[in-house]
Structure 1
C-alpha cells in the first residue's frame, strides 16, 4: 500500500493543471469567481482520475497474477529506471512555450463557472493520468496489495484525492495570494510566477529521481 500511495503522490505533480490554476489566479480580477471556478475544475479533474483509476483497476484485477509477476520481475525495476531517465532528459530539454500555449487555450472556457469548467477538468484528469507512468504503477500495487475488493475499490477515492493533493494545495495557495497579495504568500507566489519554467523543471526532476530510486529498490 505504501508503494501505491507513493506513486499517487508522484502523479500529483501535475504541472499542466497547476499551471492553469496559477494562470486563473493571475488573470481573473480580484472580484472574479476564482474559488468557484477552481473548485469545479479540480472536481472535474478528480472525477476524470477516479474514472480512469476504476477502469484500470478492473483491468488489473482481471489480469490477476500477471500484474503481480510483472511487479516482481526485474523488468519492472528496469522499466522504472528507464522511465526516470527519459523523464530526466525530457525535463532538461523541455521548453515552457508549448505548455504556455496549451494553458492559454484551456483558459478560454474557464472565464466563468459552468459545466464546461467541470468538463475541462475531467479531460485534464483523464489525459494527465493516462500519460502518467506513476498513475499505473500505483494502481498495479493497489491491485496486488492483498486487500479485499471493498477496500481496494473504496481506496480509489483516496487514490484519486492523493493524485490531486498538490493541485488542491496550489489552488488554496493561489487563493491566499489573491486575498492577501502583500503577505508572505504573495511574495512567494511572485517569486514562483516569475520562475515558472524553473518550477516545472523541478517537478520533473523530482519525478525522474523518485522513479529511478524506486526502480533501483525494485532490483535489490
Structure 2
C-alpha cells in the first residue's frame, strides 16, 4: 500500500493543472468566480483520474499474476531507473515554460464556471494520468497487493484524491493569496511566480530522483 501511496503522490506533481490554477488566480479579477472555477476544474480532473484508475485496475486485475511477476522482475526496476534518467534529462533540457502556450489556450473556456469547466478538468485528468508512469506503477502495486476486491476498488477513490492533493492545495493557496495579497502567502506566491522555471524544474527533479530510487530499491 505504501508503494501505491508514494506513486500517487508523485503523480500529484501535475505542472499543467497547477499552472492553469495559478494563471486563473492571476488573471481573474478579485471579485471573479475563482473559487467556483477552481473547484469545478479540480472535480473534473479528479473524475478523469478516477475513471482511468478504474479502467486500469480492471485491466491489471484481468492480467492476474502477470502484474505481480512484472513488479518482481528486474526489468521493472531497470525501466523505472531509465524513466527516471529520461525524466532528469528532459527536465535539464526543458525551459520550464513548455506548458505556457497550452495553459493560455485553456484559459479561454475557463472564464466562467460551467459544465465545460468540469469537462476540461476531466480531459486534463485523463491525459495527465495516461502519460504518467507513476500513475500506472502505483495502480500496479495496488492491484498486486494482498487486498480484497472492495478495498482495492474503494481505494481508487483515495488514490485519485492523493493524485490531486498538490493541485488542490495549490488552489487553496492561490485563493488565500487572492484574499490576502499582502500577507506572507502573497509574498511567497510572488516569489514562486518569479521563479516559475525553477519550480517546474524542481518538480521534474523530484519525480526523476524518486523513480530512480524506487528502481534501485526494486533491484536490491
Q: Is this a same-fold pair by TM over 0.5?
A: yes
> Which residue in 2 is equivalent to 1:10?
10
Deviation by residue 1:104-130 (Cα, 9 ceiling, x = unmatched): 001010000001100100000000000
Give the alignment's Cα RMSD to 1 decimal.
Answer: 0.6
Question: Contact 2:85 / 2:208 at 8 angstroms: preserved in 1?
Answer: yes
- 1:65 paired residue number: 65
Q: Distance in 1 between matches of 2:190 and 2:44?
A: 28
Runs of 4 or more consecutive aligned structure 1 residues displaced over 3 Å after TM superposition: none
Per-residue CA deviation, residues 98-151 of structure 1 (Å, 9 max, x unaligned), is 310000001010000001100100000000000000000000000011101000
- Give the structure 2 partner of residue 31 of structure 1: 31
1:197 maps to which residue?
197
5+ residue gaps, structure 1: none
Deviation per residue, 1:69-91 (Å, 9 max, x gap)? 00000000000000000000001
Q: TM-score, normalised by structure 1?
A: 0.99
Matches of 1:97 and 1:90, distance apart in 2: 13
Note the C-alpha offset of 1:194. 1.0
Q: Distance in 1 between matches of 2:82 and 2:102?
A: 27
State yes or no: 1:106 paired with 2:94: no
Instruction: Give 5+ residue unaligned stretches, structure 2.
Output: none
CA contact (8 A) 2:20 2:107 kept: yes
Give the equivalent residue in structure 2 for 1:19: 19
Query: Structure 1 residue 97: deviation in Å?
Result: 4.3
Aligned to 1:76: 76
Kindly tell me the number of residue pairs found equivalent between the two proteins: 220
User: Does the CA contact (< 8 Å) of 2:96 and 2:198 recur in 1?
Assistant: no
2:96–2:201: 8 Å Cα contact kept in structure 1? no
Deviation, structure 1 residue 96: 3.7
Contact 2:17–2:124 (8 Å) recurs in 1: yes
